Amino acid sequence: MVEVSEIQPLPRRRRRYTFLFLVAIFISSLPFLFLYATGYRLNLDGEGPFVSTGGIYISVDRTGAEIYIDDELVRETRTFRTAFYAQGLEPGVHRVHVQKLDHHTWVKELPVYAYLVTEALAFNLPEVPTVRIISPWRTNTGETVVSANPVIQATTTSEFIVSTRVPPSFVADTEYATLLQLFATSTSTSAQVTPIERVASGITSFLDDTATTTATTTKIANGVQLFESEGDVYAKWIDSREQMPYYYCAEEFELTTSQTPDEEVEESYEAGFIGPVQYVPTDVVCEPVIKLDRGDEEVSSFDFFPGSTDLVLLARSSGVYAVEIDDRAWQNVQPLMLGAGLDMRVENGNVYLYDGVLIYQVLIDN
């Protein structure tokens, strides 16, 4: 015989108890979730049930890199996972470094504040850059012709032959002629002969040529202005403060409270609402200008690193360097290519270097 209870819907009482049970879960779980989301963590070491924490968010520009926080490996980057968010960090200074085999290591000490996330963008340039050589001449079969083996510290993707003479069978490379226009202004005071003439005349050394043109160009991209003043290069934020990257005026983000975290939690509980207890001033009175590290060398040209307004390329006396604008703790400076007297231009997302004879396209990939 079938029981009628098997036919009836769920008893109302059972449903009500289930409902009340879930309501109890809802009410009891919310404060903990709010605290957790705001940055509080359970404190098992004694004083008070909770401790306030902050976080660090590190973006890396390439895959296969290792991110370390306080010397502990926290993430190996891969496609779609090139950033790491570390939460639950104690307020204070934390050391972050990002490294990749055969690449320069990025290191920074970053301040972590309670309830706030400190952001940083790491970059790792290859120790030996890869370049494509563009010379004034090429053979009928398309091979690049250089007057001597280039002594640059780079690997090259170009097939080239060395010849100190220019036989009639060589043809002028139109790409070279076009790119040379980019460097026209910087070469005007340094070279009295054209590069083609130099090659044709058998000049083999190209490292003794120095670009002396003082960089006076102003570059602007995505709200960042690069300009030169009295030999130094500066990055200035010229767009709305709402959009301003985290490192401009970074030092002025500070907590207004002098209470201990426990006092803050207690006060928040009494207020019945765990709100944003941190305060970030919206009317920051600071000049969002950052001087770029040029290593006491003269800068002949500068531009944004392709695809970035956080990194700047500086053509210095000893080579071309990428410098991060972020000056918290220090600025990471990594050589893109070493070599005295290299001039540099960025055109259509490509970096071109010019040593007075040859042009090198630096191949940038991740």
Binding-site ranges for another protein (CB under 8 A): 2, 6-7, 9-10, 12, 15, 18-19, 22, 25-26, 29-30, 33-34, 36-39, 53-55, 57, 85, 87, 115-117, 119, 241-244, 246, 253, 273-276, 278, 280, 282
> How many angstroms separate the CA atoms of 20 and 14, rounded?
10
Backbone angles phi, psi at 354, to 5 degrees: -135, 125
Query: Would you state the structure tokens that stand for residue 2, as one six-digit string?
Result: 């079938």
- Closer CB to another protein, 6 or 47, in the complex: 6
Q: How far is the CB of 303 from another protein (least distance, A)?
A: 27
- Closer CB to another protein, 80 or 273, in the complex: 273
> How many angstroms separate the CA atoms of 95 and 117, rounded?
15
Residue 223 is given by DSSP the state T
Q: How far is the CB of 260 from another protein (least distance, A)?
A: 18
- Closer CB to another protein, 129 or 245, in the complex: 245
Q: How far is the CB of 325 from another protein (least distance, A)?
A: 17
- Closer CB to another protein, 160 or 246, in the complex: 246
Q: How far is the CB of 18 from another protein (least distance, A)?
A: 6
Q: Which amino acid is at 217?
A: T
Euclidean distance between the first and the last CA atom of the chain, given in angstroms as a whole number: 73
- Closer CB to another protein, 36 or 68, in the complex: 36
Q: How far is the CB of 278 from another protein (least distance, A)?
A: 7
The total of other beta-carbon atoms located within 10 Å of residue 147's CB is 24
Q: Any residues with CB less than 8 A from the CB of 161 and at least 6 apart, and which?
A: 139, 143, 144, 145, 146
> How many angstroms separate the CA atoms of 318 and 281, rounded?
41
